[in-house]
Amino acid sequence: MKRLSYKFIRLLLAAALIPIVIFGAISIYSSRKVAYETVVQGNQNVARRAAGEIGIYLKNSVDTMKTLADNLSNVNLNPAQKERIIKNYVIDYGRLEEILLVDQSTGETISSRPENDFREILNSNEFKIPMGGKIYSSDVFISSSLAPMMKISVPVLHLNKVVGALIGNFNLIDMWKLVDSIRIEDTGFAFVVTDSGRLIAHGNDNRKADVIRGDNLSGLPLFKPVFSGDSRPVIYREKGRAKVLSVASEVVLPDGRKWAVAIEQSTAEAFRAVHILTIELVVLVLVFLVLMSLIGYLGGKSISDPLKELVSATGKVAGGDLNTRVRIQSRDELSDLGDSFNKMAGKLGELTEEIRRKERIATFGRLAAGLVHDLRHPIQNIQNSSNLIVQKPDDPQIRKVFKNTLEREFNNINEFLDRLRNLTKPSPIQMIKIEVNGFISEILRIYRNDSSLDKIEWIEELDPKIPGIMADRFVLERGCKNILTNAIEAVNGQGKIKITTRADGHFVYLEICDNGPGIPPEKLKNIFEDFTTTKRRGLGLGLATTRKLVEEIGGQIEIDSQPGQGTKVMFVFPA
């Protein structure tokens, strides 16, 4: 016992204090560096993602104009048909507020607003540049309604020859909304500047007036580096404002010009965690120094410390920290006891990791089942439309249905994939006003056009006086399609499916009824739980997923079924 006590005193006094001081200094330096890089990298990632989304937003706008130009280049179209196509684009494409077609070969000038006089445009760049075969995009300007706008012009080709120009006025409100949605803690905001330094969007409400005025920010320290390809962070202080950390990322416009998306956050807030961590580490090192000195001074009692260490480690293991290990390097019985403890903790860690691995496998299985279930509907709809257009390829109505089905279902698939990508974060819900009758009629049109469902009798009793509801259109469509698919499977493709809408002043009700075999009472009470199904091959995720979707957008779902009499599913939403 004396040998253990003396040995511990000597080792503690000779080797404990110096390593603790060195370790503390290295830890403080490394922790500050890592924390700083983490903050900067996080803000840079936000800026890059925002720049990418704005770039896609602008590219889609140009692609829309190109597609429209291709459609209008058909020589068989008369001016009235071209005008109708242009007006339909303005109606269907929410970002487009106005379109002008100038056909130099025929002298036609067709606009979605024919009452306007566009003669002065013929001498402007928005006409001359596309007539030279290039894409033109104007500077962002603020409309009379205080909305950001941009003109985009593309050449109209016929037989690879430029015969005219197509000019569109695009509303950039969605870009403002994207910038407004980016917030980092309390002082982190995003803003967008052009390569001339003009401010065109800012997420800080206090800076909206600067956007309207078109303030020039070319004097900021981050301006020149970002447009020269240098994405390193910059710390500076604007006049009258706090010091900020700023990072930026480029956005390349279709005509080659550049914008920059920047993220600004006050350094006091951005590096607050760094300062706190530094203080904590310093305090921690000082505490350890004091403790080690006291333990060395009280070395006579050190024989009990290895036992205390074992007791403490046992408590950590009992609390779930299976990485806890003890270091008892003495050549005595305590060392043997420490080795046995470490072996025990290691074995427990292996067993726990095996349990976690099996849990992950089970979770991935549930996720895969959900993927199959949610992607089956849009893929089936695309397949049905493809079969229909193969049967009647020359029918214009069938082609229009096919095009609309593709656009809608691919948008649904993309929306689903975006939400899957953000699985670790709350799904963004986009609540809009929905006219229920038109919405359900649009969905039913998909099933009515499916020749494999010709034997089903679709009955619609839609109350024309019901008010609209607030809901996420994508989420509501997924829920309705889940229920309709269940009804189709229940009637085995040859029964009756009745859809009813009604309201009572406070709530709007949407009912889907079928005359299938119904659901047994013992299964009905658990029908909304995951992996509960009445089908031989079902995964049991449809109704469970549907309830989660409906509740997510503020509604409720109820189900009533009697064996042999069919099933009724009712959605309830506040009016």
Residues 434 and 504 in one domain: yes
For residue 184, list its beta bridge partners. Answer: 188
DSSP 8-class letter at 130: H
Helix axes 2-15, 272-297, angle to 10 degrees: 140
Higher pLDDT, 372 or 258: 258
Higher pLDDT, 32 or 476: 476
Residues 561 and 515: their CA atoms lie apart, in Å, by 10
| pLDDT tens digits along 386-436 | 887 788 777 888 777 777 778 777 866 775 665 455 444 555 778 899 999
Q: In whole numbers, what is the pLDDT of the chain averaged over residues?
A: 79
Does residue 187 sit within a domain? yes
Instruction: Pick 88 or 334 by higher pLDDT.
Output: 88
Residue 420 located in a structural domain: no
Of the listed ranges 100-109, 270-279, 372-381, 465-474, the one predicted with least confidence = 372-381
- pLDDT for 47-79, tens place per residue? 899 999 998 888 888 888 888 888 888 767 888
Token reading at 554: 């503020």
* Domain shared by 213 and 339, yes or no: no
Share of the chain above pLDDT 70, in %: 79
Higher pLDDT, 560 or 108: 560
- pLDDT of 501: 93
- Residues 443, 334, single domain; the answer is no
- In the prediction, which pLDDT does 153 show? 92
What integer pLDDT is reported at residue 427 of this predicted model? 58
Q: Is the pLDDT of residue 499 over 90?
A: yes
Identify the burial level of 413 via C-beta atoms within 10 angstroms of its C-beta, where 0-12 means exposed, 13-18 middle and 19 or more buried. middle
Does one domain contain both 354 and 473?
A: no
DSSP 269-292: HHTHHHHHHHHHHHHHHHHHHHHH
What's the rounded mean pLDDT across residues 434-458? 84
- The DSSP line for 208-247 is HHHHHHT-B-TTSTTHHHHHTT----EEEE-TTS-EEEEE
Cβ pair 169, 149 in contact under 8 A: yes
Model pLDDT, residue 435: 93
Whether 221 and 367 share a structural domain: no
Strands 141-142 and 136-137: unpaired
Query: Does residue 23 lie in a domain region?
Result: yes
Please say which residue of 395, 418, 451 terminates a domain.
395
Question: Which CATH number goes with the domain that contains 525?
Answer: 3.30.565.10
Does residue 167 sit in the same domain as residue 108? yes
Q: Are 265 and 185 in contact (CB under 8 A)?
A: yes
Return the DSSP state at 299: G
Structural domain tally of the chain?
Answer: 3
Q: What is the pLDDT of residue 528?
A: 65
pLDDT at 333: 67
CATH number of the domain bearing residue 380: 1.10.287
Tell me, yes or no, whether 414 lies in a domain. Answer: no
Domain span holding position 240: 1-297
Strands of 507-514's sheet, edge to edge? 457-462, 496-503, 507-514, 566-574, 556-562
Residue 84: alpha-carbon gap to chain centroid:
35
At residue 533, the pLDDT reads 45
Give start and end residues of each alpha helix (H) in 104-198.
125-131, 173-181
Per-residue pLDDT of 150-165, as tens digits, reads 999 999 988 888 888 9
Are residues 262 and 320 located together in one domain of the fold? no
User: How many C-beta atoms lie closer than 10 Å to residue 398's C-beta?
Assistant: 17
Domain boundary (349, 373, 395) is at 395
Q: What is the pLDDT of residues 224-245, one digit of tens each?
A: 888 887 778 888 887 777 888 8
